[in-house]
Structure 1
């Protein structure tokens, strides 16, 4: 399996090189040359597999340059850190299926991909005798998951930018209380979009990227998306009464990475009727799906901070397919976006979008009310991001189709929102007990590319 750029200006590369490249050197995002279309017999044979075996079957289709036993070992080691034997269990509450993605070490869905990516990096660096300086941006959960994926690993330094004061307190502490020498937290005075733009700019500076061996952990790295494809298959096999029954997945998302993984699963042949894209007030993606309006706006702070994003970095991958796999048009559209402030689509393209996606923007009052109502009716506590997805599903799925809502974080990470909704704090997992009393380390810098570049140069391997 070879990989190409959405912007069409690199020669095809293998999976291992794609993992190490992260962002394509032409500024685009990497995608497989083809997405395998799986037959019914293959999919039916996967129905009873364990999560680890299913992950091997899915990932090996895209990572054929890693020996099978090595890939099995990497997957087994990655998911040994999870607290639930099913890794991503599905629970049913009053007809709503909750796909729990928060049983990893940092209690968020990012662990599913980043535990694997950390082990992949270590494996490939050892194979190549190289070192790496990972640079990433986070709106809350990616940072801690990435840090836990590579903390203490040899030949790896990690630099994580987060918007100062704009994550939940627990999200910030999960990052800044990791004191391993190879971990560097940067709190940038700005928004997540500022952080993400700085990271993309550094990766686009090819001399800097090559000199300091930069590696990507954000969902610009294809391996992140690939690992997330697995749990769509796993959830489907546990929800569909018969193979071939269609289901709907409701995905709270700001960066389009998690829902793009569902789109890949659908293209592979998983019977997904629609993907519901659920957003908060930062609704550029909802405006796109419902009205064809992909225009930049200002970021609004909400109780679901991981979705407080305007510029969705993975959206380019979907646009590549929407534009008929035409890299020249993709390149033109995204080159013009910073100055034009929008991307335009034809009505025929929007009909295709609406055939694949539904969307709902859920505001803060609705989010809190959903947490309260769902707890009152089922006894189950949703985190605010998951509540956005549940609200969207309850409103948009009215025909009896099974609706799977992705639970992207443990509610204890967002205790303030939960208290507003139900009047008490959710119980804390052991990993969060006493976290406020732990020593922490963080550098607060302006959201300035040159200042952050200088910091990395000073601390890099």
Structure 2
């Protein structure tokens, strides 16, 4: 399979090179040149498959022979065997035709595990094959960092550096990252916000001179195509467990960077009947403002009880816009340059096309806590703040009560004690494998919000 850049002027690449490239050389994001498409009959035939076997069916065409089938299936089996529930992504029912897809059963208790535990294995396989060593620099608003570190900490071919905004992630999120003491892992607490971290990450990819041409720089953020690819699977899995593809589904997705919900969009394009995709977001509501008002305008970052969505610029929205603008890279490159510097309205007919599938809703902290409390009182089920935003958005935006509504449960509530306690409830205990988390030794560097400081630190560690 070939991959092309959303901005049209980078070379086409195959899977291995896209895996290692992250951002395209023209500043765009890689997407498949063509998507596989499945008939309802073929999707129906997958109903009895366990998660890792279904993942093989979805992922194999994207890998395009870069990894032989037997090795790929073994990687998938190993990845999802490490999850804490035999179903891997179980469904919890809140009401008639209302469900939460529990995507927090992985080792770091967040949906990022579905992609990042696999990504670490994919990178190790390709780098071993090429006899190369790579540098990973990542930026996290909370959950990406711990999942990436968990996936890559044992690799002999990777040095990983994860930036998080200093004092702006939850204590559990921080400790899941900073208590990993392997020599190839560095945690950097940046004196800024997530967008500052993401800005420095993009600057590193734009100019890699600090690596002196001796190391490859690899992305683990959701700009890396392999992350999107892995997330497509659980849309199929949820649907098949609720009568799909013979009935359509609706999904509500807590999202800041648009990657998780873009995977749902791709699932629909690949043949899965999806009636509605709901963008659920917090006070950092740039996606909601685009969807509801057709106004793309950056506002100052607000710090909320749902920190994984405290993002001003949603990087993966570019991948959707590429399709909306008929996959015209030059047009999109011009549009993206405007989005970074001014308020932009999309053409009316383009926006109408987006709204055929997408709705959106923004939820503040008070409503988030009220939703956590209400759902617990109704069902005894405890939501984390991100999933609570998804449930509230689902209830506000639902188009058809006859169609199952599935909210993606993106994190375990134990990671967000502040929100749970402000909802008037007790934080649950940490799962068994994390029982001693608060006693573990931490190691991290507090770093100024300066690109040169970051690059000098990385260079000092790898050379």
**Pairwise same-fold verdict (TM > 0.5):** yes
Query: Is the Cα–Cα contact under 8 Å of residues 152 and 181 in structure 1 kept in the other structure?
Result: no
> Match for 1:450 among 452, 456, 461?
452
> In 1, distance between residues paired with 2:399 and 2:318?
31
> In 2, distance between residues paired with 1:318 and 1:211?
34
Query: Is the Cα–Cα contact under 8 Å of residues 375 and 422 in structure 1 kept in the other structure?
Result: no
> Match for 1:303 among 305, 321, 333?
305
Decide whether aligned partners of structure 1 residues 440 and 206 sit closer, same or farther in structure 2, where only a CA change above 3 A counts. Answer: closer
Which of 377-386 and 411-420 deviates more? 411-420
Deviation at 1:208? 4.3
1:221 paired with 2:227, answer no
1:437 paired with 2:431, answer no
Gaps of 5+ in 2: none
User: 2:44 aligns to what?
Assistant: 44
1:387 paired with 2:388, answer yes
User: 1:112 aligns to what?
Assistant: 114
State the SS of the aligned residue for 1:303. Answer: coil
User: 2:63 aligns to what?
Assistant: 63
Deviation at 1:152? 2.4
Which aligned pairs between 1:16-415 and structure 2 lie closer than 5 A? 16-65=16-65, 66-95=67-96, 96-208=98-210, 210-240=213-243, 243-340=245-342, 342-397=343-398, 399-400=400-401, 401-415=403-417
> In 2, distance between residues paired with 1:148 and 1:88?
19
Deviation at 1:434? 2.5
* CA deviation profile, 1:155-204 (whole Å, cap 9, x unmatched): 21100000001111110110011111100000001110110111011111
State the SS of the aligned residue for 1:92. Answer: strand
> In 2, distance between residues paired with 1:429 and 1:408?
16
> In 2, distance between residues paired with 1:276 and 1:191?
26
> In 1, distance between residues paired with 2:80 and 2:248?
28
> In 2, distance between residues paired with 1:25 and 1:398?
41
Query: Is the Cα–Cα contact under 8 Å of residues 50 and 86 in structure 1 kept in the other structure?
Result: yes
Q: Which runs of 4+ in 1 moved over 3 A?
A: 206-211
State the SS of the aligned residue for 1:236. Answer: helix
User: 2:12 aligns to what?
Assistant: 12
> In 2, distance between residues paired with 1:332 and 1:243?
39
> In 1, distance between residues paired with 2:44 and 2:250?
19
Query: Is the Cα–Cα contact under 8 Å of residues 249 and 276 in structure 2 kept in the other structure?
Result: yes
Gaps of 5+ in 1: none
> In 1, distance between residues paired with 2:371 and 2:310?
19
* CA deviation profile, 1:276-305 (whole Å, cap 9, x unmatched): 000000000000001111111111000000
> In 2, distance between residues paired with 1:361 and 1:431?
34
Query: Is the Cα–Cα contact under 8 Å of residues 134 and 217 in structure 1 kept in the other structure?
Result: yes
Q: How many residues align?
A: 459
Deviation at 1:243? 2.9
Deviation at 1:115? 0.4
State the SS of the aligned residue for 1:75. Answer: helix
* CA deviation profile, 1:309-336 (whole Å, cap 9, x unmatched): 0101111111101111010011112223
State the SS of the aligned residue for 1:294. Answer: coil
Decide whether aligned partners of structure 1 residues 327 and 208 sit closer, same or farther in structure 2, where only a CA change above 3 A counts. Answer: farther
> In 2, distance between residues paired with 1:163 and 1:206?
23
Which of 425-434 and 322-331 deviates more? 425-434
> In 1, distance between residues paired with 2:127 and 2:90?
32
Query: Is the Cα–Cα contact under 8 Å of residues 418 and 426 in structure 1 kept in the other structure?
Result: no
> In 1, distance between residues paired with 2:47 and 2:297?
41
State the SS of the aligned residue for 2:38. Answer: coil
